[in-house]
Chain A
Amino acid sequence: MISFITNFTSVIESLAKVHRLLPWLIAYVLLLFLPNLITATFGEYYVDLANRCCLFILLAVGLNIVKGFCGQVTVGHIGLYAIGAVTSALLAQNYGLPFWLSAPLAILVTCLAGLVVGLPSVRLEGAYLALATLGLGESVRIMIAVTPALGSSTGIMMIPAPTIGDYVIESFDHYFYLVMTAAIIGIYFSFVILNSSTGRAFKAIREDVIAASVSGINVPFYKLLAFVISAIYAGLAGALFAHMPPGYLHHNNFTVIEMVTLLLMVVLGGIGNIWGGVVGAIVVTVIYDQTKDYYFYQPLIFGVTMVFLVVFMPRGIGGVIEQAIVKRKFIEKHEEQNLGTS
Chain B
Amino acid sequence: MTEHVVIVGGGTGGTVLANDLADRLDVELAADDVRITLINDGPDHVYKPVWLYVPFGQREPADGRRPLDELVDDAVDLRIDRVTAIDTEAQRLRFNGTAPAVDYDYLVLATGSTLEPERIPGLADGGHDYYSESGSTALRDELLGFTEGHLVLSVIGSPHMCPAAPLEFVFMADDWLRERGLRDDVDITYTYPIQRVHGNPHIAEWARPIMDERGIEVETFFNAEEVDPDSETLTSMEGTDLDYDLLVTIPPHGGIDLIEEAGLGDDGWVDVDKHTLEAEAAENVYALGDTADTGVPNAGSVAHYQAGVVGQRLASEIRGRPATATYDGKTLCFIETGMDAASFVEFDYENQPSPAPPSEKLHWSKLAYNESYWLTARGLL
A binds B: no
Chain B interface residues (CB < 8 Å from chain A): none
Chain A interface residues (CB < 8 Å from chain B): none
